[in-house]
């Protein structure tokens, strides 16, 4: 809200959705070396599922410029996936975001050794056990 107040019309909220792939695992599995986990297809009725069914490739859409029918479809998607896909939270996408970027398939990130050097010891330890698939 502070940025929106400061930047006014120049402030855009960009949401992201995804289809399937891999996501960062959550504790405690993360700390056993299982850094990434497979994401199931998004649940029906979610913003992720709506966007995933809309196009085969990555895309962005400006929610402020939707047709009335498209706005109704987006409004009906009342949940969004968070994190590794195991959690969904309620929302009104038209109030929450100006733009949505959708990635149909996401992959595990390659660790950045320079950034990892500044991470807490337990995170460094978890990444030292990780082997890319």
Quick: pLDDT tens for 75-92.
999 999 987 777 899 999
Task: Check residue 76 and give its pLDDT.
Answer: 96
pLDDT digits (tens, 9 = 90+) for 22-67: 888 776 677 777 778 888 899 999 999 999 999 999 999 999 999 9
Looking at the predicted structure, is the pLDDT value of residue 5 above 80? yes
pLDDT of residue 74: 96
Report residue 133's pLDDT band, with 50, 70 and 90 as the boundaries: low
Report d(CA 122, CA 100) in Å as an integer: 34
Q: Where do the domains of the chain lie?
A: 11-125
Burial of 52: CB neighbours in 10 Å, binned 0-12, 13-18, 19+: buried
What is the pLDDT at residue 108? Answer: 80
Pick the CATH number of 11-125 from 3.40.1660.10, 1.10.357.10, 3.40.50.1100, 1.20.1440.120: 3.40.1660.10
């Amino acid at each position: 809200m502070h940025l929106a107040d400061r930047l006014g019309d120049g402030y855009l909220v960009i949401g992201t959705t995804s289809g399937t792939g891999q996501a960062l695992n959550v504790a405690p599995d993360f700390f056993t070396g299982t850094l990434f986990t497979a994401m199931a297809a998004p649940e029906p009725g979610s913003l992720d599922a709506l966007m995933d069914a809309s196009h085969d490739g990555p895309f962005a859409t400006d929610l402020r410029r939707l047709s009335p029918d498209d706005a109704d479809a987006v409004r009906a998607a009342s949940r969004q996936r968070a994190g590794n896909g195991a959690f969904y939270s309620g929302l009104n996408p038209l109030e929450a975001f100006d733009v949505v970027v959708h990635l149909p398939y996401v992959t595990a990130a390659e660790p950045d050794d320079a950034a990892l050097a500044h991470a807490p010891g337990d995170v460094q330890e978890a990444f030292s056990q990780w082997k890319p698939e």
